[in-house]
Structure 1
Amino acid sequence: MTPGARASAAIEILTEIEARKRPAADALKDWGLSHRFAGSGDRAAIGNLVFDALRTRASTAFVMGEDSPRALALRTLASSWGLGPDGVAALADGGRFAPEPLTPAELEGLKREIAPDAPAHIRGDYPEWLAPLFERGLGHGAAAEGAALATRAPVDLRVNSLKATREKVLNGLRRFEAEPTAYSPLGVRIAAGSGPSRSPHVEAEPGHGKGWYEVQDLGSQLATLLAGAQPKEQVLDLCAGAGGKTLGLAAAMANTGQLYAYDSDRMRLRPIFERLKRAGARNVQVLQAGDAEALAQLEGRMDRVIVDAPCTGSGVWRRRPDAKWRLGPQMLEARLAEQQAVLDLAAPLVKPGGRLVYITCSVLPSENRDRIDAFIARFPELKLAPWRQL
């Protein structure tokens, strides 16, 4: 496919996403199934353009005067992809499969810069209704943090210390220019690409099949490390999902003690079995999804209860940029209620002197400190532990 044809395809998919309010990944999958002539490189380039366009929807609308699918794609090509206004004008020549030529207004929009005094939610590319929460949680850095969340994410890996060392993993992935992370002693990072370039499919590498590493964001790795699970402890991962943090906890416990993995949703929990086997994690007991009686038997016995709570996911918008535009006040309220419920479920399971670890992938204070303050008000016998003591 030509660059112009790829741009037209991205506009078509963005139109579908907007019209049907669909997740971008679903729309891209369906487009690929109905356009089998597109090669893997074409599909990757189109997907990158769609996701990059969604990352900067607010700032694009501000400078272009509209947030139509065409405006989103053209502005992304000019700015994020580095084509510039002239490059986009050359691409959009109205030829076969290419976008129609630029209008004078579009050309002016592509040349326009975002003013330093533009509203924070424009400079940070997040929904305007979230501006008060971003400002309360992030202060004067709200726009900068939002802008960082509007960039592409790198590929982060966690070394499985039960089977490999970081040096071994780095050596196995050296052709991808993998680097050790600064904060996690188990982290390996492959930088994000730009434009149409694809991220490497590291899960197809032999090291992944051998259980040497798992794909896991650095933030999740740090949360697992801060949880402080120790060998021979009794630990519950209460919202285990597919088991990303469960695997990290099992390794931290050196395959000793007893680690329970639980989730209320059996479909979320299903992938954990294959992952545990590949990682060589033998100290994990997976509880049946939704089994309240099994949880009740753990009451007052757990050294640590890990609550990786359901949340808005505002901290992982780099990976799911379309999610920020689907998020609304009602969805936030639903997540707050779920967080309260899971915390209340977790509290009785912690033994005297034990620790409850609350984790979200959100940057919103209403999902973080506000929830903990409300929780401690309900359970005054629990006290906050300063993170530096963890």
Structure 2
Amino acid sequence: MRFHKNLTDGVIEALEKIFNEGAYADRALESLLKHNRQWGSRDRGFVAETVYEIVRWKRLYAEIAGAASPYSRADLYRILGAWALLKGHSLPAWPEFSGLEEKEIRDLHANLVKQRKFRESVPDWLDRLGAESLGEEAWTRELEALNQQAPVVLRANTLRTTPEALRTQLEKEGFKTDFIEGYPWALKLQQRANVFRTQAFRDGWFEVQDASSQKVAPFLEAGPGMRVVDACAGAGGKTLHLAALMENRGQLLALDVYPAKLEELQRRARRAGAYNIEARAITSSKVVKRLEGKADRVLIDAPCSGLGVLRRNPDAKWKLDPGFVETVCQTQRDLLREYSRMVKPGGKVVYATCSILPAENHLQVAEFLEGEAGKGFRLLKEEAVFPSREGFDGFYMAQLERVG
């Protein structure tokens, strides 16, 4: 591989924003690529893939390079150089790479990877938490899986098309896909590519949604004509799936505390042809209180640590801290207690997270059922999805029925 100074400078610019300024990796890259429209697809691919590789393995490469936060530009170039040498690339004779010796780099790598926290590149506290929560062997398996690049999975929008017709259309546009056994709406791209420029996307035929995430909406068992509440709707990935399952019949209330996310949901809903969605911002407790006992189904896709989706959000592990995990667990308790009141007797609630930590998942549900707010509920079923087993994102879902 031949290095080009403008591209490597772009990589360094993105890493500075992510590591030193706390920017999200996807947004830093989006901004960088937007300001460098002259780069071709291969150049853009190199920059994006290199940035994500270094973000994913930051601790390992930084340790090998002898770099410490906050990272200077020289530190970041040493990290980039260590990555390149370990990938088998030759470094150009630039002053930024001076002093980097391949043998020394490989020797340091061989010693460091004997320790899981370096081999899988996670903070000490997170490595301890994962091992304590899941056990040493299970945590090791999950970390290995979470450090693999996530596949691009699409969900066919059945309000507009069928999975079979979508596959045919995408192939006409140059994108080959495979069906995924056990996931009726899912298509997996055979090669990573930008599908947002396709006519199929503009026509609302699909959304990009991981296969595990596609399990959540059907777990709620919502049907046409029901009154359904997506209580933490965000930008609406699962809301849109619910609208399709409801065949645009019934009322689908999308709630969130962030109005900007709901605006994005409404834009996506128009493209998807989802017309039974009503977005409501939660501006006070009155919004939820007015809905108490009135919904047939309630989805609580709760804020979480996001440890199940590190493959696609590797920068999250550098933004998390123990205090955040404790705070988000308390938020989950509050939401489960308060939002479950919206379901009517005989109705169902699904509590879901994209985490693999028991404290955010089945232990959270067990605590709810043992408390005062959970006395009128019973657990019907639950499912934990692990990346090491299914090959997709980590998720948890519990279906509760209100019996009184």
Structure 2 distance, partners of 1:377, 1:4, is 60
- The alpha-carbon distance between structure 1 residues 226 and 123, as it changes in their structure 2 partners (threshold 3 A), is farther
Residue equivalent to 1:159: 156
Please give the root-mean-square deviation of Cα atoms over the aligned residues, in Å.
2.8
Letter in 2 for 1:144: R
SS at match of 2:79: helix
Residue equivalent to 2:380: 385
Letter in 1 for 2:308: G
CA contact (8 A) 1:237 1:262 kept: yes
Q: Using the TM superposition, give the Cα deviation of residue 36 of structure 1 relative to its aligned residue in structure 2, in angstroms.
A: 6.2
Structure 1 distance, partners of 2:35, 2:2, is 18
Q: Using the TM superposition, give the Cα deviation of residue 113 of structure 1 relative to its aligned residue in structure 2, in angstroms.
A: 4.9
Structure 1 distance, partners of 2:65, 2:182, is 39
TM-score normalised by L of structure 2: 0.83
Residue equivalent to 2:388: none
Instruction: Tell whether 2:175 aligns with 1:176.
Output: yes
CA deviations on 1:310-334 (whole Å, 9 max, x unpaired) are 1122222222211211111222222
Range with greater deviation from structure 2 (267-276 or 20-29): 20-29
Unaligned stretches of 5+ residues in structure 1: 193-198
Residue equivalent to 1:195: none
CA contact (8 A) 1:55 1:151 kept: no
SS at match of 1:306: strand
Aligned length, in residue pairs: 373
Residue equivalent to 2:387: none
Letter in 1 for 2:367: A
1:100 to 97, 101, 112: 97
Letter in 2 for 1:72: I
SS at match of 2:166: helix
Residue equivalent to 1:343: 336
Residue equivalent to 1:109: 105
Letter in 2 for 1:298: L
Residue equivalent to 1:3: 3
Q: Using the TM superposition, give the Cα deviation of residue 350 of structure 1 relative to its aligned residue in structure 2, in angstroms.
A: 1.4
Letter in 2 for 1:339: Q
Alignment map for 1:367-382 (pairs within 5 Å): 367-378=360-371, 379-382=374-377
Instruction: Tell whether 2:354 aligns with 1:358.
Output: no
Letter in 2 for 1:14: L
CA contact (8 A) 1:28 1:47 kept: yes
Structure 2 distance, partners of 1:211, 1:31, is 27
Residue equivalent to 2:260: 267
Structure 1 distance, partners of 2:61, 2:182, is 34
Instruction: Tell whether 2:130 aligns with 1:129.
Output: no
Structure 2 distance, partners of 1:204, 1:329, is 40
1:120 to 116, 119, 125: 116
- The alpha-carbon distance between structure 1 residues 141 and 77, as it changes in their structure 2 partners (threshold 3 A), is farther
Q: Using the TM superposition, give the Cα deviation of residue 385 of structure 1 relative to its aligned residue in structure 2, in angstroms.
A: 1.8
Identity of aligned residues (%): 33
SS at match of 1:386: strand
Higher relative strand content: 2
CA contact (8 A) 2:282 2:288 kept: no
Structure 1 distance, partners of 2:103, 2:113, is 23
Instruction: Tell whether 2:134 aligns with 1:138.
Output: yes
Alignment map for 1:277-296 (pairs within 5 Å): 277-290=270-283, 292-296=285-289
Unaligned stretches of 5+ residues in structure 2: 69-74, 384-397, 400-404
